[in-house]
Each structure stands twice: as structure tokens, then as C-alpha cells.
Amino acid sequence: MYQELGISNEVEELANKAEKELQKEFSKIDRICEINSLKVLKAFQDNHLSEVHFGTTTGYGYSDIGRETIEKIYSQIFKAEDSLVRNQFISGTHALTVTLFGLLRPGDTLLSITGEPYDTLHEVIGIKENTSSLKSFGVNYAQIDLINNDFDYEKIQDTLKNNKIKVIEIQRSKGYSTRKTISIEKLEKVIKKIREVDNDVIIMIDNCYCEFVTEKEPIEVGADIAVGSLIKNLGAGIAPNGAYVVGKSELINLVAERLTSPGEGKEVGPTLGVNKQFLEGLFFAPSVVASSLKTAVLTSKIMEELGYKTEPMYNEERADIVQNIEFGNSEDLIKYCQGIQMGSPIDSDSVAEPWDMPGYADKVIMAAGAFTQGSSIELSCDGPIRPPYIAFQQGALTYQYGKFGVLKAVDNLLKKNK
């Protein structure tokens, strides 16, 4: 079948050899999947989930018991006081934006301690000029860069001692950078260091791509609020859109009143028929995240065998579903991404090309033959056309489909280099 689908014997054998050496890594992933599956199942049962919760509301969405139950389930899974899980959020960036505008006021200072945030937040914050940015509303911004993939603990504490900071933002996943993702252990350590100096500062976590990769989530290690997208890990390719925010009740209320309006907050928001999809997505999420991780591990192993630099390496601990592959030139990056598109279930005959995407400073190539537009829990691969020419691959609804997509990309790359 692989040959019928255009995969060479050479590439298939390369994958078979890699899989034999990856059983230990796959077993670790399966164990985490089991733990998180039981966590989800317990939350469903404890909150008495019933078919009645699959119902829909329109208009204002008053008294939507399905929506309310979903938010109780999320709160339990994340060990948070409250949550906001809504289809009114367009994306992770939108949820982060609403959260920042909900928490910050003119004259406040936002501090990023993981360096420059992801590209799509630049205009939100005002790093790149925009008349609707936080900066345009009088919110100040500062950042502290990581040192050797770890927090600059001393500088963070000094900054908190000498400045009034309202919100600390921590982006766990790497974005379009070469740094490592922030592990839950490092997150716990830096939160303790912050609390040694300041008990009032709000610690906000961008948790995109990280959910269910490990046993714990940010609220469990002391974060005040965490944000993520449902077209990434927790939607499992089933949720058609949406995002979540979890954390302290008073903070969730502020975010809800920014998403809807002051005085209405969480009480409104029609679900328009997505309750069942949100719940099904969450139910399958541990397994789909495990498939994504296995696909990433296989990718890393094969590409290392071919002489490419990868991050993480195949046997390193992982904190998100993103796999970096450094190509060193634009042609290899483009060929690999085009191969991922060829291996997709949707638009497999389309050719991915770099283009000027809104919110990005460089041309970006994006391969994503997905059922949901922009879904990065489905197999996708993208990267900015700038040195050192890194592909950022993520997702796979099943390992088998993910494996095929990777082999198609490798095959396309090797054909180009022959």
C-alpha cells in the first residue's frame, strides 16, 4: 500500500527500522495517555454528563446547561476554580487577546519572561504598531529573554522588586523560535521564584500545544490563569473552533466580561450546536495528543538518521506536540512541507507555497490538508522563510495517518536531493 501511495521502499524501510527502536518512547506516551484519559472520564462522570447536555442554544444563550457543564468539566480537569470554554473565541490568539485586555488596564505593565511572544501577538501587544493594541490603550510592555532555554530567575526577581508588574505572561510552546518548550517542572520552579517576591502579580500561561502532553497542567503548579485553543490539542480534530481559559474565578469573570460585555459575562453566549463536538473532542483528546506525539517522535528519529538537526530529539522529554526540523535552506523546507500536504486527506493535490500571511513579518509556508481550517492537532507543517529555515510540524489525528504524512514528506525531500 505504501508503494501504491508513492512511498519508496527506501523510505518505508527507514520508518520500519525507526519504529523498532522507538518502543520505549511510545510506551511512555501510552502511559501518559492512559492517565489523562482517566482524568477526562472522571470529570465527565463526576459532573453527571448526560445526553441532555448535547442540546443547543441560539440568540443570547441564556441558561445553556450544556455550556455550563462543559465549563465545570474543564475546571475539574485543570484543577481550576472556573473556566470559560466558548465557540465565540476564534482562535488561541483571540483567546489570549481577550484575556490580556480583560486583565490589563491603562498604566499597567505586562511582562513576558519567555522573550518575544509568538508573531500573531506582536500587534496585540504593540511590539508592532497597531492603533488597537494594548500599547495604544496605555498598557506598558517589557520582556525578559530566556538564558540557555531556562528562565533568567535573578532578572525576573529584580524586575519584580523594582517595578509594579500587573501580569506576567509565559508562553510555554516555542512559537517560531529555536528555544525549547517550557516544561511543567520549569514552570513550577519559576512560579515559586516569582511568589518569593510578589504574591499579587497575575501569572498567565499561554498553554497552546501543551495540553495532555504530561500529567500536570499549569494551574496545578501555581499559575493563576491559562489559555489554549480547541483547534489544537483539546479539540482532537472534532471541535470546529473555539478556545478555553481556566483559572481563578475573579480572573475568569474579567475575561468573560471582555468577551461578551460587562454585567453579562459568562451568562450569555449561544453554543449553536457545538456542545457535543466540544465534549467528544475533549474525550478523544488524550488519544489524539498521543498520536501527535508518536508522529513527532518518529519524525525526529527519521530526520536525525538523515542528518538533520531536530528539536526535541527523538528520546528527549516533551512538553508540547511541536517538532522542529532545521533544514538550513529554504528549498528543503519548502519540499518537506509540500510533502506533508501531499500526505494529507484534504487538498492533497494542492501545492503549498510561501505567502504573506496576516500577522507575520516573513513569508510563511503552511501545509495543512485538514478537516478544520487552521487546525494544528491535525497533521500540519509550517515555517517562516528565514534562516535557519525551520519546519514546525505538529499534529496527527491517528499515528497511522501521521506516519504516512511524514513518509510522504521524507520521500518528497529525498527525491529533490537525488
| Chain segment 137-161, per-residue pLDDT in tens | 999 999 999 999 999 999 999 999 9
Phi-psi region of 335 (alpha: psi -120 to 50; beta: other; left: phi over 0): alpha
Which of 262, 282, 302 is the endpoint of a domain?
282
Nearest one of 316, 383, 333 to 180, comparing CA atoms = 316
User: Is 93 in the same domain as 233?
Assistant: yes
Helix (H, G, I), strand (E, B) or coil at 243: strand
User: Is 312 in the same domain as 183?
Assistant: no
**Residue-averaged pLDDT of the chain:** 96
Per-residue pLDDT, averaged over 323-334, amounts to 96
Say how far apart CA 60 and CA 269 lie, in whole Å: 6
User: Is 380 in the same domain as 267?
Assistant: no
Q: Is 238 within a domain?
A: yes
User: Is 180 in the same domain as 56?
Assistant: yes
Which of 233, 252, 282 is the endpoint of a domain?
282
CB 18 within 8 A of CB 298: yes
Percent of the chain exceeding pLDDT 70 equals 100
User: Is 114 in the same domain as 51?
Assistant: yes
Q: Is 155 within a domain?
A: yes
User: Is 273 in the same domain as 306?
Assistant: no
Q: Is 254 within a domain?
A: yes
Q: Is 3 within a domain?
A: no
Q: According to the model, what pLDDT value does residue 360 have?
A: 77
pLDDT band at residue 295 using 50, 70 and 90 as cut-offs: very high
Say how far apart CA 291 and CA 284 lie, in whole Å: 11
Per-residue pLDDT, averaged over 25-34, amounts to 98
Helix (H, G, I), strand (E, B) or coil at 109: strand
pLDDT digits (tens, 9 = 90+) for 357-374: 877 778 999 999 999 998
User: Is 210 in the same domain as 297?
Assistant: no
86 or 1: which leads in pLDDT? 86
Per-residue pLDDT, averaged over 126-144, amounts to 97
The secondary structure of residue 224, as a DSSP letter, is: S
Q: Residue 248: is its pLDDT beyond 80?
A: yes
User: Is 80 in the same domain as 91?
Assistant: yes
User: Is 378 in the same domain as 245?
Assistant: no
Q: According to the model, what pLDDT value does residue 418 have?
A: 64
Per-residue pLDDT, averaged over 326-354, amounts to 96
User: Is 62 in the same domain as 151?
Assistant: yes
Per-residue pLDDT, averaged over 412-417, amounts to 85
For residue 397, give the CATH number of its domain: 3.90.1150.60
For residue 81, give the CATH number of its domain: 3.40.640.10
Which of 231, 261, 282 is the endpoint of a domain?
282
User: Is 27 in the same domain as 97?
Assistant: no
User: Is 265 in the same domain as 394?
Assistant: no
Q: According to the model, what pLDDT value does residue 345 have?
A: 95
* Single-letter residue type at 203: I
Q: Is 4 within a domain?
A: no
Q: According to the model, what pLDDT value does residue 119 have?
A: 87
Say what the pTM is: 0.96
Q: According to the model, what pLDDT value does residue 416 have?
A: 72
Range of the domain at 342: 9-36+285-417
Please tell me the total count of domains within the chain.
Answer: 2
Q: Residue 129: is its pLDDT beyond 90?
A: yes
